[in-house]
Chain A
Amino acid sequence: MEIALIGDRHTVYGFRLAGIRKTFLMEEISQDIREILKGLFSDKVGIILVTEKVAEEIGNILEEAGRLRKGIMPIILEIPDSSGPLPEKIDPMRGLIKRTVGFEIAQ
């Protein structure tokens, strides 16, 4: 199984250095992102990495795609890009924790 990445220039170069084959540069994507995601879903991709900024741009498409997947893969994971994590994404699970447990858990 493979890992794929959609991100900006630095993330793409960085992870290509680490060896990831399926990288998509956000600025150079001309076709529909939906098509790309569909392709990734049907190929054997285990994790799709998306930088936080890109995830903000195409958040609803990702969500839509997430509902299409069968079973537990692929996993879509947001990672910080070269400028570090976005301030609103520092603790992305906060809302989820509050909803499930009923209160917030200190770090």
Chain B
Amino acid sequence: MAEILQNVKPTRMELLKLRKRIKLADKGHRLLKEKRDALISEFMVVIKEYREARKNVEENLKIAFYNLLMAEVLLGSRDIKQIAGITLRNIDLDFTSKNIMGVSVPIMKIDNLVRRINERGYGFLSTNAKLDDAAKNFEESLSVIVRLAEVEESVRRIAQEVEKTKRRVNALEYIVIPRLKATIKHIEMRMEEIERESFMRLKKIKASLEARK
């Protein structure tokens, strides 16, 4: 039996108030449960996307690193370092957010990142095709990475919200509602007791009045 609320007087007023509260708690519990289920189904969708994105990134990067290594073998690491210093540019990432069941998840857009060979800024005389490949691979990986970042953050945020909702559902189900119920029962019993008491008192008074006659 759950413990009862403290500082509640056994009056009819309190009883009515408690009944209202329990109704509200029940409603909240039902709504939160629905929210939790909806969030979990959303989570399942996102987690699937996340796994795809992650695999994509891993595969892309594997090829990219391989080509970079090849380029380094052919050119030497000093040249690679120099070339990597001149291919920089501004990357424009468009960042907005979307609302899923009260959770704001990021949405990112990025322009096409793959540049043409002559847009990268290095000369062709001292470089080779492997370097072009590597640069292209990294540019391609960048867009899948942006996608992964978006999905991973969504997964994290939705998971957080699910946990929060779960905690609330459980608190209502196992603590708040049983406690309210126990208190209501306590008040009802107390009131019956009072009723019996006053009934008995009446009888006694009646009997003593009768005896005095």
Binding site for B on A (CB under 8 A): 1-3, 9-10, 12-21, 46-47, 49, 72-73, 75, 77, 79-82, 84-85, 93, 96-97, 99-101, 105, 107
Of B115, B120, B149, chain A has the most CB atoms within 10 Å of the CB of B149
Contacting residues, chain A, for B105 (C-beta < 8 A): 72
Q: How far is the CB of B139 from chain A (nearest CB, A)?
A: 5
What 8 A-B pairs are tightest by C-beta distance, nearest first? A18-B138, A16-B84, A1-B93, A17-B135, A82-B65, A19-B89, A13-B84, A46-B93
Given contacts A72-B104, A72-B153, A79 and B43 within 8 Å (CB-CB) = no
Question: Measuring CB to CB, which residues of chain B are less than 8 angstroms from any residue of chain A?
Answer: 40, 43-44, 47, 50-51, 57-58, 61-62, 64-65, 68-69, 72, 77, 80-81, 83-85, 87-95, 97, 104-106, 108, 113, 115, 120, 131, 134-135, 138-139, 141-142, 145-146, 148-150, 152-153, 155-159, 162-163
Q: Which residues of B contact A9 (CB under 8 A)?
A: 77
Chain A residues with Cβ below 8 Å from B150 are 75
Other than the given A16-B88, A18-B142, 17 more pairs (CB < 8 A) read A3-B93, A3-B142, A13-B72, A13-B84, A17-B84, A21-B88, A21-B89, A46-B95, A47-B149, A72-B97, A75-B153, A80-B58, A82-B65, A82-B68, A85-B58, A97-B47, A100-B158
Interface centre among B58, B65, B139, B162 (most CB of A within 10 A): B65
Would you call A14 and B91 a contact (CB within 8 A)?
A: no
Measured between C-beta atoms, what is the minimum distance from B161 to chain A in Å? 9
Contact (Cβ within 8 A) A75 B106: yes
What residues of A have a CB within 8 angstroms of the CB of B138 in the complex? 14-15, 17-18
| Cα separation A10 to B80 with both chains bound (whole Å) | 10
Is the pair B91, A21 in contact by a Cβ cutoff of 8 Å? Answer: yes
Contact between A99 and B68 (Cβ–Cβ < 8 Å)? no
Main secondary structure of the interface of A (DSSP, over half): mixed
Q: Give the complex CA separation of A14 and B57 in angstroms.
A: 14
Cα–Cα, bound, A47→B97 (Å):
14
Q: Is the interface of B mostly helix, strand, loop or mixed?
A: helix
User: Which residue of A17, A21, A79, A93 is within 8 Å of B155 (Cβ)?
Assistant: A93
28 pairs from A and B in contact (CB 8 Å cutoff): A10-B68, A13-B68, A13-B81, A14-B64, A14-B134, A17-B68, A17-B84, A17-B134, A17-B138, A18-B87, A18-B135, A19-B89, A19-B91, A19-B113, A21-B88, A47-B108, A47-B146, A49-B145, A73-B106, A77-B145, A82-B69, A100-B43, A100-B158, A100-B159, A100-B162, A100-B163, A101-B44, A105-B47
A96–B156 contact, CB under 8 A?
yes
Q: Within 8 Å CB of B108, what residues of A?
A: 46-47
Q: Which residues of B contact A12 (CB under 8 A)?
A: 84
Cα of A15 to Cα of B146 in the assembled complex, Å: 13
A25 to B145, CA, bound (A): 19
